[in-house]
Structure 1
Amino acid sequence: MSEPAPLPLTPRERLLEAHRRLCAAYNCPIAYFHALGPLDELVSSLLSHRTRNADSARAFRQLRERFPDWEAVRDAPVEAVQEAIAPCTWPEAKAPALQRILQLITGRRGALNLDHLGEMPVTEARRWLESLPGVGPKTSAAVLSFSVLRARALPVDSHHHRVAQRLGIIPASISVGPSHGVMEAMLPPEWDAQGVYDHHEVLMLHGQRVCFFRSPACARCVLLDICPTGQARRTGLREAEPRVRSGASAERGPQAA
């Protein structure tokens, strides 16, 4: 008598199995890539919207070199800020938007800092950040996770999102913003901030190195046997692949992320 066919994995089971395999492949725990304060991280994240990492890093570096502190950036002529962040996309839009956010933080806090975020529950800290114009769930999570606060927050970028869609962890119809809450709800409560950070990093790295937007390298993917998209591609059923979008058109300009 033959063995019964295994039951298909649930989305949460796929997430956990992908995490286990990718952590082995990319050597978790993964070191944090920098140690910026939360305000620095917010500025860095805002500059990175729809921008290559190397270009946004250069824009951030030039901003720090040309102004002594964030108060000086806030109060400078907008043209000077725009010139400093020229390496990033849409500097003409990001410069006034950045100054507006710095002004709002000063008005709400009485000082230009985000030190209070470390004393707040993560959900409240994210809500506070997302009340700022242009700050969405990805940026709020990045500020809390990537900065020295090292909070338990899950950012989802386009690579992470693409891998999760192809694995069937999230539906093909869900965009990056709403996907944050869906995937956060699947995370084991016992995972600490490092575990949540590792989860984002390994899915992002896999999207960058294997699960490319065009022509994913399914033949060398450690997740192939649990990936509906990979299995469909392997058998030639290309129509079964979810329509994964690369992001907004360049004409649309920067948006909340």
Structure 2
Amino acid sequence: MITHTPAVADDLRTLAMVVHDRLCAAYGCPIPYFHDLDPLSELISSLLSHRTRNADSGRALKQLRARFATWEAVRDAPTAEVEELLAPCTWPEQKAPRVQQVLRAITERRGGDLSLDFLVDLSVADARAWLEGLPGVGPKTSAATLLFSRLRIAALPVDSHHHRVAVRLGLIPASVAVGPSHALLEAQLPADWSAQQVYDNHEALMLHGQRCCFARSPACPRCPVLDLCPFGQARIDAG
């Protein structure tokens, strides 16, 4: 959970902005949003996507909504029925009870109101803290719920591709795991950025990790930020 804004050195802020500008040029910012879901649906989508391909988690979400008209119905359904519908995901036997647990927790905390639309009235930090108080919700899921949903709140998610690129560029130390990296990377961005700009930053670094800065055999010679990358420079020098 992000409880304060970490101090950021000027050189890191400058590096983050140069990386953002170059990768945005390479991947075509502004990047269209891939979802237009209400925040509760986005939260469930994010929970289903853990270690699952987007196409498969998307299919599971559609099956769930096709069977049940409301999230209240999902909450109250037999868990085995929910698990059957989540079969396209990895670990449906874990995700089905977790989804229902989260829905029950929201209902209880909101006095019977099964909606997350109220988050728009909170600060980013308070909205993330509220979400991360739910079972199984960490910084990536909280940020994704706020940024990707119709709320369009400027919270930065960090996935494994984004994290790998940031480590190789020296934006964060290699010792910092994905979870704690959220606060560090978000603090490097201008505080007045719009949700679209934050989304572009996440998407550009993620796409770079998927299309160039691979976990194995990265394509360093065609990297648009190679001159800024200690990892890439070392590979080129060694090769």
Q: Same fold (TM over 0.5)?
A: yes
Partner of 1:51: 52
Q: Kindly indicate whether the alpha-carbon contact (under 8 Å) linking 1:11 and 1:170 is maintained by their aligned counterparts in 2.
A: no
Partner of 1:232: 234
Partner of 2:203: 201
Unaligned segments of structure 2, at least 5 residues: 1-9
Q: Kindly indicate whether the alpha-carbon contact (under 8 Å) linking 1:58 and 1:87 is maintained by their aligned counterparts in 2.
A: yes
Q: Kindly indicate whether the alpha-carbon contact (under 8 Å) linking 1:166 and 1:229 is maintained by their aligned counterparts in 2.
A: yes
Unaligned segments of structure 1, at least 5 residues: 1-8, 238-257
Instruction: After TM superposition, give the deviation of residue 13 of structure 1 in Å.
Output: 2.2
Q: Kindly indicate whether the alpha-carbon contact (under 8 Å) linking 2:119 and 2:127 is maintained by their aligned counterparts in 1.
A: yes
SS at match of 1:10: helix
Partner of 1:187: 189
The one-character-per-residue Cα deviations of 1:183-210 (angstroms, maximum 9, x if unpaired) are 1111112321111111001000100100
CA distance in 2, matches of 1:111, 1:191: 31
**Correspondences of 1:34-45 after superposition (within 5 Å):** 34-45=35-46
Structure 2 residue 220 is matched with structure 1 residue 218: yes
Partner of 1:145: 147
Residue in structure 2 matching 1:160, options 159, 162, 175: 162
The amino acid of 1:45's aligned partner reads S
Aligned residue-pair number? 229
CA distance in 2, matches of 1:68, 1:192: 33
The amino acid of 1:192's aligned partner reads S
CA distance in 1, matches of 2:151, 2:20: 23
CA distance in 2, matches of 1:37, 1:44: 10
CA distance in 2, matches of 1:189, 1:115: 23
CA distance in 2, matches of 1:162, 1:12: 18
CA distance in 2, matches of 1:184, 1:31: 20
The one-character-per-residue Cα deviations of 1:2-57 (angstroms, maximum 9, x if unpaired) are xxxxxxx9332221111010111111111111210000000000000111111111
The amino acid of 2:33's aligned partner reads Y
| 201-210 vs 58-67, which moves further | 58-67
Q: Kindly indicate whether the alpha-carbon contact (under 8 Å) linking 1:47 and 1:56 is maintained by their aligned counterparts in 2.
A: yes
SS at match of 2:115: coil
TM-score normalised to the size of structure 1?
0.87
Structure 1's consecutive aligned runs of 4 or more residues displaced over 3 angstroms after TM superposition are none
TM-score normalised to the size of structure 2?
0.93
Q: Who wins on radius of gyration, i.e. which is larger?
A: 1
Partner of 2:27: 26
Partner of 1:92: 93
